Structure 1
């Protein structure tokens, strides 16, 4: 009797977590470069009431084990790194990676390198290419990208090379760095559209060993498209459908608890 109540509690907890993840997905439906999350469940260890009996030829057949499940737990909370839709802005510093890879940014010279898919960059008063939060966008030389004072115009190619226009003509400038991540789901979310490398994303949590340019055939990184942004990959239709499933699952598990409580009440009432 009590097992069913605890199973119901575990189910309610699991579906509450699922609703939390769905709510976060819906809240970020218009966040640049956001990747949706999903919750996967797994069953808890079952209680064995009777073990397995092997068959004996000519005597009797085998008997299967009798096991009672003890509920559900969270198996994983995955980040789904499918590509989001492209939004054209025609801003030269808005960048989208068409394919695999991440932009590499850093808060300052002494800070660790972080990753992002959000390419809504700007030029600050020092002519440095920075994120919306002021993080430096790094070049393939692992240095902040700074345009010279004599640059009057620029464009960014698909390989990340910045072609600058100066009084002396058009010359190539810095080249944006991207990095390939073997297991993007292993990245640690930091907020602000930022990710931190972990040992389960790349071997030895290395960014430098996989740092390259856009379109590198060796690492299989995607091309950079200027004037576009990658939007959130959240599918509202799927999220609302999953919300209904989570809501009904929560209600069904709560019914398990109330039903078990009613039966326990009947047992208590046997002696009046």
Structure 2
């Protein structure tokens, strides 16, 4: 008789724990990156006896009730909320962001609410540093995984080359100007002129003026005269470009131009003018060049691409790839335990994640946050079910009490 009291009592405890799980899910319906939990019930066995009759087993099993043996996380994708903050990020697919605390512990999270601190470190709302790879000057990942830092300024860089890029073009229909000697002050002695800005080691801008003169239509030849900083009295470089019958460059590139600065602020600059990307076809003149120098720039904006590359834009017009986010995943995500504040840790240090760059197993959605995946309708249904189950177990205890009272009344 007393066993049934304890059996019903285990039911009360189990349903109470289930209600705790349900209420936790409902309470976290607006928690960014939250993954709902589900209670797993296990039955208890009070006694088990097996007898045989005519060689056949007869089982007598009396259960001892129930308990919540485990909780299982639902790692399904949550919906995305648009925030328009480029440092708010959501993972579209598998994996976790990696953040590192000041005591050296690496945590895993689906909450991508990040920001830059005063030092340019990318951190989460708890001040933990987001992990990834820093990129070198050509955009390759360098070194091991570490904290991501976005420089607040870009230092000046001296120009070493100027490259002509497609669709740069010299118009093959331009008239040949071989009769008169070239004079930069006389526009009738050249066909086309364009300028490009270059920088010295202090970040001072300087102008290179390139004059193009069509000298021979048969050999598709052009003379190039280079002047600096508006000084048309001193030529700082020259070359001759030749093109084949299909308009491809066949000679004259590259040429090295030594630019003597008029202000004497720095030493002379040696700039390589590279015309490999230029063509000569029957089309308008187009001048499109890139160069590797820049003035000092201050951080203006940060953006994040789908493959987790963090780009910084500076006031000098330069955009630089700074770092790439690291994304971790686990073969068995159930080894992860909640540590509060959106964070997870493996329940054993021997379990190491598979780490890969962003964009490999999941896309990075910048300007968005992944909301909780709690289904309110399902949780309300579970809430009603748990409430009824609790009431039923309480009714069992009431019934047991009535039966026990009747038993006590037998001796009256």
TM over 0.5, shorter chain = yes
Match of 1:158 in 2: 306
Aligned 1:117-266 pairs, distance under 5 A:
117-140=110-133, 141-150=144-153, 151-166=299-314, 167=316, 169-199=318-348, 204-207=350-353, 210-216=354-360, 221-266=361-406
Match of 1:59 in 2: none
Superposed CA deviations along residues 209-240 of structure 1, whole A, max 9, x for unmatched, are x2221232xxxx21111010000001110001
Match of 1:53 in 2: 52
Higher radius of gyration, 1 or 2: 2
Match of 1:267 in 2: 407
Shift of 1:4: 1.3
Shift of 1:168: 6.2
Please state whether the residue corresponding to 2:146 is helix, strand or coil. Answer: coil
Q: Distance between the aligned counterparts of 1:196 and 1:234, measured in 2?
A: 21
Shift of 1:102: 0.2
Superposed CA deviations along residues 67-101 of structure 1, whole A, max 9, x for unmatched, are 11111111211111111111011110000000000
Q: Distance between the aligned counterparts of 1:73 and 1:253, measured in 2?
A: 13
Q: Distance between the aligned counterparts of 1:149 and 1:16, measured in 2?
A: 53
- Counterpart contact for 1:80–1:185, Cα < 8 Å: no
Aligned 1:43-82 pairs, distance under 5 A:
43-48=43-48, 50-53=49-52, 55-56=54-55, 62-82=56-76
TM-score, normalised relative to structure 1: 0.89
Shift of 1:51: 1.1
Match of 2:82 in 1: 88
Shift of 1:198: 2.7
- Counterpart contact for 1:154–1:162, Cα < 8 Å: yes
TM-score, normalised relative to structure 2: 0.60
Q: Distance between the aligned counterparts of 1:192 and 1:152, measured in 2?
A: 31
Shift of 1:163: 1.8
Please state whether the residue corresponding to 1:9 is helix, strand or coil. Answer: helix
Q: Which has the higher helix share?
A: 1
Shift of 1:152: 2.3
Q: Distance between the aligned counterparts of 1:149 and 1:214, measured in 2?
A: 23
Match of 1:38 in 2: 38
- Consecutive unaligned residues of structure 2, counting only runs of 5 or more, are 134-143, 154-298
Q: Distance between the aligned counterparts of 1:197 and 1:215, measured in 2?
A: 23
- Consecutive unaligned residues of structure 1, counting only runs of 5 or more, are 57-61
Q: How many residues align?
A: 256
Superposed CA deviations along residues 127-149 of structure 1, whole A, max 9, x for unmatched, are 21111111111113322111112
- Counterpart contact for 2:131–2:146, Cα < 8 Å: yes
**Which structure would you say has the larger RCO, counting Cα contacts within 8 Å and 6 or more residues apart?**
1
Q: Distance between the aligned counterparts of 1:18 and 1:38, measured in 2?
A: 8
Runs of 4+ with deviation above 6 angstroms = none
Superposed CA deviations along residues 28-64 of structure 1, whole A, max 9, x for unmatched, are 100000011111111112412x4142754xxxxx242
Please state whether the residue corresponding to 2:145 is helix, strand or coil. Answer: coil
Q: Which has the higher strand share?
A: 2
More moved, 228-237 vs 184-193 = 184-193
Q: Distance between the aligned counterparts of 2:407 and 2:301, measured in 1?
A: 83
What is the RMSD computed on CA atoms of the aligned residues? 1.6
Match of 1:103 in 2: 97
Asked if 1:12 corresponds to 2:12, the answer is yes
